[in-house]
Chains A and B, each alone.
Chain A
Amino acid sequence: MNITVIALFLAIVLLTLVITYWAAKNTKTTGDFYTAGGGLTGFQNGIAISGDYLSAASFLGIAGAIALNGFDGFFYSIGFLIAYLVVMFLVAEPLRNLGKYTLADMINARFDAKKVRGAAALSTITIVIFYMIAQLVGAGALIQLLFGIKYWIAVLIVGVMMTIYVLFGGMIATSWVQIVKAVLLMAGMIIMTFLVLWKFHFNIGEMFTSVKSATSHGAAYLKPGIQYKDGLGTISLMVALVLGTSGLPHILMRFFTVKDAKTARSSVITATWTIGIFYILTLFLGFGAAAFVGQTKILEANPGGNMAAPLLAEAIGGELLFAFISAVAFATILAVVAGLVLSGASAFAHDLYAQIIKKGKVTERQQMMAARNASLAVSVLSIILALGAQKLNVAFLVSLAFCIAASANLPVILYTVYWKRFNTAGAITAILAGLISALVLVALSPSVMSPVPGAALITGEPIFPWANPALISVPLGFLGGYIGTILSKESDPVRYAEVKVKANIGYNEQS
């Protein structure tokens, strides 16, 4: 580890702590804690959404996937991007209009049923825990590589930092850490893209020609099919990518940090542009890494390709750029896990404790206490799980989280806003059908079962053929909601009239 890396690393830690100190002074109510009091501007929130979305998995994972697998790596960039059109057109504004802190709040705008709230909280917590373990294990491995420290120390550093941000600074600190990181990350990406293009004499055609002979795949590198050979399996993955985003709790929570639907809309626009530009740049990073670092070196550093971006920084920009990109990657991990802690804590403290156990009869002080305790509990639990999961291959947990989000959360969101006949029973069956089918199918898939000992959790022939079952589990979520609804006689057109009006025109009695 050299001096520059340590200095930049400490600078990031210091900067985020200053933000947290300032945020702590401004965090007075539960609303501040969960949603920054709804006080972010559309632009700020848009940048923060981009920050939440551009996790280490996006930044390092996609750059690596493109470097190693060419076009097939780019599938991720496209799926993650188009997902924002789903968010923009179908989810963002109704969600802002109906909800307060959590997804369960939004569904409960239509049904005052504890069971529905409980089911929504359950799927939120499941997604958060899986996503969190994946991020923390990835973070530990990455920081181990970048800074040469032990895995458990790396996990502890990330864990303690995220706990501090959330515990003291709540959503205000988390948002601003996210904004700072998103700006740094974009700056790093633009610098690297510029350097890559410079090496190719600003000629994109030359870049394509050059990578054609740069890898062991030869001309096939520029064609789809290196990694994804099974048609339905590929389409299934694309379903999870495009529909999962609009069900991810830490992304949904972001729409409650602005004051109204109009601001929510402008933040999705900012996010879409930022994320779109980012994903175009992943191509230059991936190709750059393939051409200037080389597959052998990328695979040597990390079999998943996660070191492609930092190694490219070293190859084209020397020690200083390597240090900068490493520090940015570290900040990325910190910011994303903090957002995850917060969305998990809101499901525990707001949905399960304040609304279900205490039936909404809690004082402001009790709510705040519960929010902080839940944050601490979620943090500690995920640190312990991450420490225990070091040896496991956890890459599938991210796609599992996307799959549950798409199968359990999206159907219930769409039905709540757009289907008149939908009822309490349907809401519960929609969530459970999506959640259970996603869990079971992933457990039987090649992600969990592999005939090669040690390659996955269970040794054996996979029973289900696709790594990501969204193509089956998302329709099952919708079907579950449909069957549950028609089997129950309950129907409340008066309440739906209210929800329909409020969701579409953005009228809120409390505001």
Chain B
Amino acid sequence: MNGQNQKVDYVQVEQSEQFQQFMTKRKKFILPYTIFFLVFYFLLPICTSYTSFLNTPAIGDISWVWLFAFAQFVMTFVLSIVYVKKAGALDQEAELIIKNQIQKGGAA
């Protein structure tokens, strides 16, 4: 890549509308999903430690605690697919910022 010869003005890139929009979109999916999976995860040990309702049977001898545990796996697989989709959608915008701004030294 080029850009070694000229000094890139990153402050200008950072403050550009294009980058600001990019960051808003990035934050919009990273933050809520992170909060969601951490809450979902910690609910399991909190529920098993302080309540006993998960011990009621759900399917035969399989109780709700196992279904909650399996749901953690399902959540992980689903969120990994979501992440790829959302992050992939932003790749193009990132490339545009590199092409339009950084490789021109930060001038938008």
Whether, in the assembled complex, A256 has its beta carbon less than 8 Å from a beta carbon of chain B, the answer is no
- Closest chain A residue to B81 by CB distance? A269
Are B41 and A78 touching (Cβ within 8 A)? yes
Q: Give Cα A103–Cα B83 distance, bound, in whole angstroms.
A: 24
Interface hits, A481-511 → B, CB 8 Å:
493-494, 497-498, 500-502, 504-509, 511
Name the contact of A265 in the complex, choosing from B70, B76, B87 (C-beta under 8 A).
Answer: B87
Name the contact of B49 in the complex, choosing from A79, A88, A235, A242 (C-beta under 8 A).
Answer: A235
* Contact string against A for B residues 62-96, beta-carbon threshold 8 Å, 1 for contact and 0 otherwise: 11011001101100110110011001000100100
- Closest chain A residue to B40 by CB distance? A82
Q: Give Cα A86–Cα B30 distance, bound, in whole angstroms.
A: 10
Are A205 and B49 touching (Cβ within 8 A)? no
Whether, in the assembled complex, B14 has its beta carbon less than 8 Å from a beta carbon of chain A, the answer is yes
Are B14 and A505 touching (Cβ within 8 A)? no
Name the contact of B94 in the complex, choosing from A208, A500, A506 (C-beta under 8 A).
Answer: A506
- Residues in chain B near residue A222, CB distance under 8 A: 61, 63, 66
- Closest chain A residue to B41 by CB distance? A82
Are B10 and A501 touching (Cβ within 8 A)? yes
Q: Given contacts A82-B76, A505-B97, is CB(A205)–CB(B62) below 8 Å? A: yes
* Contact string against B for A residues 231-263, beta-carbon threshold 8 Å, 1 for contact and 0 otherwise: 110110010001000000000000000000010
Q: Flag the segment in A10-18, A153-161, A162-170, A271-279 that touches B.
A: A271-279
Are A81 and B73 touching (Cβ within 8 A)? yes
Are B45 and A509 touching (Cβ within 8 A)? no
Question: How many interface residues does B have (CB within 8 Å)?
Answer: 51
Are A208 and B62 touching (Cβ within 8 A)? yes
Name the contact of B79 in the complex, choosing from A85, A208, A508 (C-beta under 8 A).
Answer: A85
Q: Given contacts A71-B65, A205-B59, is CB(A82)–CB(B72) below 8 Å? A: yes
Whether, in the assembled complex, A150 has its beta carbon less than 8 Å from a beta carbon of chain B, the answer is no
Are A224 and B65 touching (Cβ within 8 A)? yes
Q: At the interface, is chain A mostly helix, strand, loop or mixed?
A: helix
- Residues in chain B near residue A235, CB distance under 8 A: 42, 45-46, 49
Min CB–CB distance B66 → chain A (angstroms): 7
Name the contact of B61 in the complex, choosing from A212, A266, A268, A511 (C-beta under 8 A).
Answer: A212
Name the contact of A89 in the complex, choosing from B19, B33, B77 (C-beta under 8 A).
Answer: B33
Whether, in the assembled complex, A280 has its beta carbon less than 8 Å from a beta carbon of chain B, the answer is yes
Q: Give Cα A81–Cα B42 distance, bound, in whole angstroms.
A: 13
Q: Which of B26, B66, B80, B102 has the most CB of A within 10 A?
A: B80
Whether, in the assembled complex, B107 has its beta carbon less than 8 Å from a beta carbon of chain A, the answer is no
Q: Give Cα A74–Cα B45 distance, bound, in whole angstroms.
A: 11
Are B60 and A71 touching (Cβ within 8 A)? no
Whether, in the assembled complex, A225 has its beta carbon less than 8 Å from a beta carbon of chain B, the answer is yes
- Residues in chain B near residue A88, CB distance under 8 A: 79-80, 83
Q: Give Cα A494–Cα B13 distance, bound, in whole angstroms.
A: 11
- Residues in chain A near residue B79, CB distance under 8 A: 85, 88-89
- Residues in chain A near residue B10, CB distance under 8 A: 494, 497-498, 501-502
- Closest chain A residue to B93 by CB distance? A505
Are B77 and A273 touching (Cβ within 8 A)? yes
Q: Give Cα A269–Cα B85 distance, bound, in whole angstroms.
A: 12
Are B49 and A234 touching (Cβ within 8 A)? yes
Interface hits, B1-53 → A, CB 8 Å:
1, 3-4, 8, 10-11, 13-15, 19, 22-23, 26, 30, 33-34, 37-38, 41-42, 44-46, 48-50
New A-B pairs, 19, CB < 8 Å, besides A231-B45, A509-B1: A82-B37, A82-B41, A88-B80, A90-B34, A224-B54, A224-B65, A235-B46, A242-B41, A265-B83, A266-B84, A272-B77, A273-B80, A276-B76, A276-B77, A280-B73, A493-B11, A501-B10, A505-B98, A509-B3
- Residue numbers of B with Cβ under 8 A of A are 1, 3-4, 8, 10-11, 13-15, 19, 22-23, 26, 30, 33-34, 37-38, 41-42, 44-46, 48-50, 54-55, 59-63, 65-66, 69-70, 72-73, 76-77, 79-80, 83-84, 87, 91, 94, 97-98, 102
The 10 closest A-B pairs by CB, nearest first: A231-B49, A497-B14, A505-B94, A224-B48, A498-B10, A208-B61, A205-B60, A497-B10, A497-B11, A209-B61
